[in-house]
Amino acid sequence: MPDSSTAITQLDQWIKEARSWFVPDCAKTIEILQPACQLAHDIGDSAREVQALLLISKSQWALGQLIAGNQTIEQAEPLVRELKDPRLQAEFENARADLLLANSQYSQALKAWSICLKQALSIHAYHLYVEACLGIGNIFTAQNKHGDALQWHETALEFAKKTTDHELLAESFLHVAADLIHLKEYELTLELSKMGEPVFLTSQHKAWLADWYSYRGEAYFELGKHTEAQAWLHAAWDLNQNLDYLWSQSINLMALGRVYIAQRRMDEAKDYLLRALQTIKTFGAHTLLLRVYALLADLGEAKQDYKMAWEFRRQYHELAIQDAQQLAKEKLTNALERRIKDLDSQLFVLQTRQENILLRQQNSADTELLQTLRNATLQDPLTGASNRRHLDQEMPLMYQRCNEENRPLTILMVDLDHFKRVNDRFGHPIGDDVIRSTAAILLQSCRGGDLVARFGGEEFALLLPGAAGTTAVDVAERIRKRIETFDWQQFHPDLKVTSSIGVAEMNQEANAAELLNCADQALYQAKDKGRNRVEFFNDNR
């Protein structure tokens, strides 16, 4: 065995070399670090042993070797607890959280990333801010809360610009692009694609460049530009087929399958989708399995091969039910929701402190794009009104301000009557026209300080600070009449639309959520009394 100083020098060289290979070749990273772990163990250097083990586990996770990754994390855990080093603890929780999320253990993953983020805040470790924000965003992605995911991933992108880690910046760009695809912001995805391309062209991680091309191809596909989509997706596949990153390969193969279904090239579509299925099964990601089952079922229907369609639809539903049961077990608890809000606040403060530095680092185009991304997290894309997230953020603050200033606050809940019949009879495009026009009426009917939010589907919430109950009822009646008398025939000669509105004024409610519930009760009273009317909440009736 070499003497202690020589061994430490050798360990540092191995760890440095392994880190350089982590991005381009994770298998090489593992190969380098296995003797490093043994040497660190032999000389009793627990800190370097942990560094090696954590990098091995991250590599195993990246390669889809989840069982091996969990075993490596278990090996590192007692050493981390013994060392009590904040940076190593943060890195341990980050590596553990990746594996937990890959196994659909959402609550445990969130706890791990929460610890990671708090430790990172205490030692000002920017790269760990970024990784924790990316991870927390991925939890929301797994639960199909893409607006929430975008907020965390955009925060990661801003912090990544502050670091000197080129690869972490590339990874952050990728996550934001994926969110925009999920949110159907395809033009914005292409804008981001142009902005981030220099980062990916100089990245060592060719799988990330492939992902970047894949997202660009998906955006072109959704915009109906199938030739461009096919070209970019094949450019991605030219890279992916020579790499070992199964997740990237799976996404790429499924996207190619979709393009060929759209082009009615069914045999080629089937080939790509079955290859995607085979790849995904090797690492078992449920979110990807659901996607490929759905695509194969769609392919079966397009080919009129109903046996194939039924079989894959059955597999989809069986897995969806299994995931729903798991999600119910792993649903975020109130305590964890509070933890997220607490972390959100800490990051907001940190961002504010760094604002001038960040702005100096960004050119005007970057700043404009990031502002557009922020708007995407707060606006409903169909109507331009606020979305549910913005309502949930602003409503408690508005309630508190009005309460402290002894000013009235009223909430209106607006619901379009029998809207399902509109979609069923006239089609969803006309249904979208109705939603957009209703939002425009609501926005035109309110003052500058009011908040108009799409609550969900055909339902809207309006917050009127400073408006007493009688004034709010007048506003509601004016809105009701405007909706009823609007020129709906411009969309279809037989189209008629009315609305029911519930109104509630702040009184003795404990919080904003209770006030919203009162408005909701008044709305259902309006429906019970025949619809196309306004009802004011009265807790004495």
Which residues does the annotation mark as catalytic?
458
In the chain, what are the helix, strand and coil shares in percent, each to the nearest 5?
75, 5, 20
Q: Using DSSP, how many helices (H) and how many strands (E) does the chain show?
A: 23, 5
DSSP one-letter code for 386? B
For residue 29, give the nearest of 18, 38, 40, 20 by alpha carbon. Answer: 18
Beta strands in 185-334 (DSSP E): none
Q: Are 379 and 150 in contact (CB under 8 A)?
A: no
Token readout for 227 is 């030739």
DSSP one-letter code for 410? E
Token readout for 426 is 């006239």
- Distance, in Å, from the CA atom of 44 to the CA atom of 408, rounded to the nearest integer, reads 67
Q: Are 137 and 98 in contact (CB under 8 A)?
A: no
- Distance, in Å, from the CA atom of 466 to the CA atom of 398, rounded to the nearest integer, reads 10
Q: Which residues have a Cβ under 8 Å from the Cβ of 507 and sit 6 or more positions away? A: 539
Q: Are 463 and 394 in contact (CB under 8 A)?
A: yes
Angle among Cα 74, 249, 373 to the nearest 5 degrees reads 85
Q: Which residues have a Cβ under 8 Å from the Cβ of 483 and sit 6 or more positions away? A: 416, 438, 441, 497, 498, 499
Return the biggest CA–CA distance within the chain.
90
- Distance, in Å, from the CA atom of 68 to the CA atom of 306, rounded to the nearest integer, reads 40
Q: Which residues have a Cβ under 8 Å from the Cβ of 501 and sit 6 or more positions away? A: 412, 413, 414, 415, 476, 479, 480, 523, 526, 533, 534, 535
Angle among Cα 125, 131, 136 to the nearest 5 degrees reads 125
- Distance, in Å, from the CA atom of 488 to the CA atom of 123, rounded to the nearest integer, reads 59
Strand partners, 304: none
Q: Which residues have a Cβ under 8 Å from the Cβ of 392 and sit 6 or more positions away? A: none
- Do the strands 499-505 and 459-465 form a parallel or antiparallel pair, or are they unpaired? unpaired
- Distance, in Å, from the CA atom of 388 to the CA atom of 470, rounded to the nearest integer, reads 26
